[in-house]
Amino acid sequence: MSLLTVKENISMVNNGNTDIVSAVQSNSNVVFDTKDLNLWYGETHALKDINLTINEKEVTAIIGPSGCGKSTYLKTLNRMVELVPTVRTTGEITYKGKSILDKSSKVEELRTHVGMVFQKPNPFPKSIYDNIAYGPRIHGIRNKKILDEIVEKSLRGAYIWDEVKDRLKENAYGLSGGQQQRLCIARTLAIEPDVILMDEPTSALDPKSTLKIEDLVQELKKDYSIIIVTHNMQQAARISDRTAFFLNGEVVEFDVTDTIFTKPTDNRTEDYISGRFG
Amino acid sequence: MAANSKLERDHEIDVKQMIEKNKQSKSFSQVVEKIVPIMLFLFAIITVLTTVGIVMTLLSETIEFFKRVPIWDFFTGTVLKPMSQNPEFGVLPLINGTIISSLIAMLVAGPIGLMAAIYLSEYASDRVRKVLKPMLEILAGIPTIVYGFFAFTFVTPVIRSIWPDVEATNILSPGIVMGIMIIPMIASLSEDAMSSVPNSIRDGALGLGATRLETTFKVVMPAALSGIIASFVLGISRAIGETMIVTIASGSSKNFTFDITQSMQTMTAYIVEVSGGEAAAGTTIYYSLYAVAMTLFVFTLLMNLLARYVSRKFREEY
């Protein structure tokens, strides 16, 4: 039994390596490079020896059953995971070549480059305008004209401008769930990040709003690197370029999305994708 | 096996019988169902009736007072000499004393209470909060007579050693001590208001690269503003109604002044002084008690209405 696991581990490591090679060969720039990342919540070993390379201006989907560590990994990329007091990490993640897990690197700076959209829409209890302007404001942009422009540009970027342009001063909680989520995406766009992390952004939305968000992700891909955690395998297949399959805190397989969904190399990936568990 | 199934059947029959038996007493339970709400209603209305009774008493005796002292003289008079040969009943010195002592109290309790609330809600670890919050609430459980004693025998001498102009009885010391008394109230209510702001909203701000401080002051506090303001207004209303501390530490001079080093009397302290024996029923002084009490009642009522209005007006939905 233990022998088998070791074998699997070796094959997994090999897979990881070939991916890194292919990533380099595909000429894309790497945004996030994760090396031997381990993470514990207290005594719980939540992420085990993660090695992943995430490319610029691609959509990377992370799939896996509940509790497999996919959200934890995502939150490690902008260090939101540190809000849990008992968290401990080893290994290294570099963002554009700079190590980020290091306590000396400024977490606020990282988060201005790496925006995040959460599972449940979480607009601030403020007006639509102030929601978008919040990010620029905390980063020192106070000029009203510039803010107006940023607000319009961000709302247009999230394809919600036409729906809200006449009610910018109204409270964001008057919007529907799908609109709130696009507002949250617009809020992230307002500080022009390089990467957008999305943590199951459509799990609280109806199918129509989900489609709108998926279309939006396709558009955003032109300018942003997107990493999306999703429960929905069809969604991963529809919108992502690469897919990582997480299981029990490990990366089982990471490859081009088509490959993962048509000819996965690992049995466990196949089982999960064909709906045999999870 | 057979015994087992028999047992099951017996059990089944038992339940059926019990339900049947209970059905027979249903007429009785129907009566109970009807009577209990009426009784509950009566209990609920006791509080309303008490309030109405108090207001009625206050009102009738106040009207009696205004038959003897013109209402205009009462509310605009700056001199209060109830015991003199030619008594004067101006309430302004009392209102002034009440407002000044409450203001001093809020200057102490407002900032300290709010900062404590921010610390507890946004920065303290669970373990620290579990120790600190009950300790803070102990402050609220100290009897006010102890605070009054503390103001008179400790705070006043300390103030006088720094600032010798301050008189032995003055409004500053009880004001400060009232503030200390109100801190837990403001801290606790504001902390509740801030803690009830969902974490997802904090995450949203932190995710945009906001620091802890920016998140607290620009997202959490605006979202909790209604609760914070309500806690302030309730604090003021508590200070206005506070009696023992000012009675003990501020003396009974009915000065109309803004000099906080001097002794002043609040409305509550006046009621204590006058009802302490000297006022025979039916005298003008006796009725003045009701007029002052009525004024005090209107003051606190207005504060409570303001608190309700503010907490509705500034409520941010989340």
- pLDDT averaged over chain A? 86
| CB-based contact A121:B198 (threshold 8 Å) | no
Over pLDDT 70: what percentage of chain B? 93
Task: Give how far B127 is from chain A: nearest CA, Å.
Answer: 12
Q: How many residues does chain B have?
A: 318
| Residue B161 confidence (pLDDT) | 92
pLDDT in tens, A39-51: 999 999 999 999 9
Question: Are A226 and A237 spatial neighbours (Cβ–Cβ below 8 Å)?
Answer: no
pLDDT at B213: 93
Whether B145 has its CB under 8 Å from any CB of chain A: the answer is no
Quick check: A124 and B210 CB within 8 A? no
Q: Is the pLDDT of residue A203 over 90?
A: no
| Closest in B200, B208, B316 to A135, CB measured | B208
pLDDT digits (tens, 9 = 90+) for A213-236: 899 999 899 999 999 999 888 899
Query: Could you tell me how far CA A115 lies from the centroid of its own chain?
Result: 9
Span A197-208, average pLDDT: 89
Coil vs helix vs strand at A117? strand
Contacts of B218 in chain A (CB under 8 A): 134, 137-138
Beta bridge partners of A35: A92
Contact B207/A125, CB-based, under 8 Å?
no
Beta-carbon contacts of residue A225 (< 8 Å; ≥ 6 apart): A31, A54, A55, A56, A57, A58, A60, A194, A195, A196
Residues of chain A above pLDDT 70, percent: 89
Question: What residues 92-121 of chain B have any CB closer than 8 A to a CB of chain A?
Answer: none
- State the pLDDT at residue B10: 57
pLDDT tens-digit series, residues B261-316: 888 999 999 988 888 766 777 788 888 999 999 999 999 899 889 888 887 877 66
> Could you tell me the CA-to-CA distances from A33 to A37, A70, A181, A248 in Å, in that order?
10, 16, 28, 21
Q: What is the pLDDT of residues B215-267, one digit of tens each?
A: 999 999 999 988 999 899 989 999 999 888 998 888 888 888 888 888 899 99
3-state DSSP call for residue A61?
Answer: strand
Task: Closest CB to B208: pick one of A123, A138, A171.
Answer: A138
Q: Do A188 and B208 touch (CB under 8 A)?
A: yes
Cβ contact B65:B290 at 8 Å: yes
The more confident residue out of B22 and B179 is: B179
CATH numeric code, A2-273? 3.40.50.300
- Asked if the model's pLDDT at residue A20 lies above 50, the reply is no
Between B203, B208, B223, which is nearest A125 by CB? B223
Q: How far is A135 from chain B (nearest CA, A)?
A: 6
> A1-15, A234-248, A250-264, B200-214: lowest mean pLDDT where?
A1-15
For A36: left if phi > 0, alpha if psi spans -120 to 50, otherwise beta; the answer is left
Taking a C-beta distance cutoff of 8 angstroms, is the pair B118, B197 a contact?
A: no
Neighbours of A244 (CB within 10 A): 26
Question: CA of A149: how far to CAs of A129, A132, A190, A193, in Å?
Answer: 11, 11, 10, 17
In angstroms, the Cα distances linking A204 to A119, B25, B102 are 7, 50, 49
Please tell me which residue of chain A has the smallest CA distance to B211. A108
**Total number of residues shown for chain A:** 278
pLDDT in tens, A51-98: 999 999 999 999 999 889 999 999 999 999 988 889 999 999 999 888
Using a CB-CB distance cutoff of 8 angstroms, which residues of chain A are in contact with residue B207? 78, 80, 111, 115-116, 118, 188
Nearest-angstrom CA–CA distance, B181 and B147? 8
What pLDDT, on a 0 to 100 scale, did the predictor assign at position A2?
Answer: 42
| DSSP symbols for A162-219 | HHHGGGTTSBGGGS-HHHHHHHHHHHHHTT--SEEEEESTTTTS-HHHHHHHHHHHHH
Angle among Cα A135, B119, B151 to the nearest 5 degrees reads: 140
Average pLDDT over residues B44-63: 93
Cα of A138 to nearest chain B Cα, Å: 7
Report the distance separating Cα B213 and Cα A53, nearest Å: 34
Question: What are the contacts of A146-152 at 24+ separation with CB within 8 A?
Answer: A150/A190, A151/A190
- Which one of B125, B214, B316 has the shortest CB-CB distance to A138? B214
A180 to chain B, any CB pair closer than 8 A? The answer is no
pLDDT average, residue stretch B90-100: 92
Angle subtended at Cα A180 by Cα A176 and Cα A181, rounded to the nearest 5 degrees: 120
Q: What tokens were used for B261?
A: 């080093």
* Superfamily the domain B80-313 falls into: MetI-like (1.10.3720.10)
- CB B317 to CB A115 under 8 A? no
- pLDDT for A162-184, tens place per residue? 999 999 999 999 999 889 999 99
**So what's the pLDDT on residue A23?**
42
The mean of the pLDDT values for chain B is: 87
CA within 13 Å, CB half, A210: 16
**Domain-by-domain residue ranges, chain B?**
2-68, 80-313
Contact A69, A244 (CB under 8 A): no
